């Protein structure tokens, strides 16, 4: 998927590129179908249909992110998360074994 072609705010597209760089291009699926605010997007687990993350910049400090880690029967919400912490959370959430450093 071409992230820059998504109808999303530049901040969301930028963090998606950073996440793909660190977690790998196959770490998650971008849900481009569910209509949300331009500053939010759902990321889906590749193999577990009930596991997804709602990632957003709405109401967050600069260079910080909000994320709802969704499981089949619960949600874990985090606000104003720095990128390094977001990457670590999503690696666990999406079962990614290796986090690659940014170039």
DSSP states along 44-72: E-SS-TT-EEEEE-TTPPTT-EEEEEEET
The span from the CA of 57 to the CA of 50, in Å, is 23
| Residue 99 included in any domain | no
What one-character DSSP code corresponds to residue 81? E
| Residue 87 included in any domain | yes
Q: Domain total for the chain? A: 1
pTM: 0.93
| Residue 100 included in any domain | no
Q: Give which of 17, 68, 8, 15 is closest to 35, Cα–Cα.
A: 8
Decide: helix, strand or coil at residue 8.
coil
What band does 103 get if pLDDT is binned at 50, 70 and 90? Answer: confident
| Residue 54 included in any domain | yes
The span from the CA of 64 to the CA of 86, in Å, is 9
**35-78 confidence digits (pLDDT tens):** 679 999 999 999 998 999 999 999 999 999 999 999 999 999 99
């Amino acid at each position: 998927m071409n992230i820059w072609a998504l109808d999303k705010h530049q901040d969301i597209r930028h963090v998606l590129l950073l996440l793909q760089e660190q977690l790998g291009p196959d770490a998650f699926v971008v849900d481009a179908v569910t209509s949300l605010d331009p500053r939010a997007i759902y990321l889906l687990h590749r193999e577990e249909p009930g596991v997804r993350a709602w990632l957003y910049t709405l109401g967050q400090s600069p260079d910080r992110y909000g994320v709802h880690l969704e499981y089949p029967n619960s949600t874990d919400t985090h606000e104003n998360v720095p990128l390094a912490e977001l990457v670590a959370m999503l690696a666990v959430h999406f079962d990614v074994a290796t986090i690659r450093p940014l170039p």
